[in-house]
Amino acid sequence: MKPLLQMAVRNVLKNWRHSLASMLSIAVGVIALGLFEGYMADLRALYDDGFSKRGMLGDVLIEKAGSEEGAKADPWKYLLGDAEQSFLEGYLRQASGVEARVRFLNLSGLASNGRTSAVIVGFGYDVAEGAITRGPRWAWNTLAGKPLQDAGPDSVLLGRSIGQIFGCLPEEPGVQAGKDPREVPVSCKRKIQISSTTGAGQLNALDVEVAGLATVSLKELEAKYAIMPLPLAQQLLDTKGVTMYSVRLSDPSQAGAFAEQLQAAARQKGLELQAKSWREHRLGEVFRRGMGVLAVFRTLVALVVLIVAGMSVLNTLYKAVSERTREIGTLRSLGFLRRHILVLFGLEGGLLALAASVGGILVTVVLATFVNRAGITYKGGLLAEAIPLSIAITPGLYVRSAVTLCLLAVIAALIPARRATRMKIPDALGHA
């Protein structure tokens, strides 16, 4: 093997000009795969951070069984009552790996300041626990004003657009949520009252204080968005129930096992609860669809790269084998077996691809670093905020791409070499 490897290295160096097109094809393929997969990895992490932490969905969502569909028609029927909450509080207190739990109560209604009215859609939640779930980066979740954990019990956060409708404006330009947290005072021209219908069909209304303005994922939702402390939402809806629990785990990979164990424990108590990761929940549908579309593009990119790289190597080595038929005959006459010739050309193809892959990986890292430092952003259709263009540097992916392309190059090299080794030695020596 050692002499064959030495010969392969010599041949690659000697014939590098003939192999330049193949090397460029493989290098470009590595760059394309590395950049696209790095973009997908970063986007997945961005979505995960947005849903799990910023949106306080944690790792596991707990609701009444059937609420994903049934709550659309009758939300009151699927609220978690005293029995379910008592069980969950006890279970989560004793369960290992639980970092925080947040209770949510969905609500909708009408907000008015006496002159202007607007429909609101939002929720009440456990404010202190929500800040823990958000973590240090997203604990300060306002563009202006202050977050609910620093505000009073009768405070609400409004979406940026609905806040403007009610004349709630920052006294100076706000800060980006999750970055450089500081309080930018907000002043509203008039007091705001929120009204909603209770489960008994009665109309209830509360005067609230706007603590701050927030941004949410969708532009349309910003014109309706309102969140408040859970006790205030329960007072508004005249209920002690909650819509769902979210649970943040110290080890997110255990979400599936945790959900199954919780459901089994609930059934033993005669309670029908549904627990699942937010990625499998209806709230994660945008995430699943987005990742699904990108996965299709990733498959297409990978197929194009493999086809182009494979055909380029195959074409180059077909020409190389044709020009080196006499060399193959000479080696055979010196005692080299067919398998030795195949190994030689396989090593040449592999070394060719390895050199191109290393070059492609270096270029990928340089390009990814440049893009990440450039601060480029782009609009994501219906999304309210610009998405930062960032590309994750993924060494594991680079290695897998290089190995795949090296194997492809080896296979492409063996096809013409196998044909040449079947020639009789005199015919090979006399090949023109």
| 375's tokens | 């601060």
Per residue of the chain (432 residues), give pLDDT as tens.
677 777 777 777 776 666 777 788 788 888 888 888 888 888 888 888 888 998 899 999 999 998 878 877 788 999 999 999 999 999 999 999 999 999 999 999 999 988 889 999 999 999 999 999 998 888 888 888 888 998 889 999 998 888 888 888 776 665 555 555 666 778 787 789 999 999 888 899 999 999 988 877 766 788 889 999 999 999 999 999 999 999 999 999 999 999 999 999 999 999 999 999 998 888 888 788 878 888 888 888 888 877 877 777 777 777 767 777 777 778 778 777 788 888 887 888 888 888 888 999 999 999 999 998 888 887 765 565 677 788 988 888 888 888 888 888 888 778 877 777 777 777 767 665
Q: State the distance between the two ends of the chain, measured CA to CA, in whole angstroms.
A: 30
Domain boundaries, the chain: 2-51+287-429, 58-277
Instruction: Report the distance separating Cα 81 and Cα 88, nearest Å.
Output: 11
CA distances from 388 to 42, 48, 242, 372, 375 (A): 10, 15, 35, 9, 7
Nearest to 53 by CA among 123, 141, 113: 141
Instruction: Report the distance separating Cα 178 and Cα 377, nearest Å.
Output: 16
Q: Are 187 and 20 in contact (CB under 8 A)?
A: no
| 370's tokens | 């440049």
C-alpha atoms less than 13 angstroms from C-alpha of 258 in its C-beta half-sphere: 25
Work out the angle at residue 282's Cα, subtended by the Cα atoms of residues 242 and 215, and round it to the nearest 5 degrees.
75
Does residue 197 sit in helix, strand or coil? strand
pLDDT of residue 142: 85
Q: Are 62 and 271 in contact (CB under 8 A)?
A: no
Q: Are 261 and 200 in contact (CB under 8 A)?
A: no
Instruction: Report the distance separating Cα 303 and Cα 199, nearest Å.
Output: 55
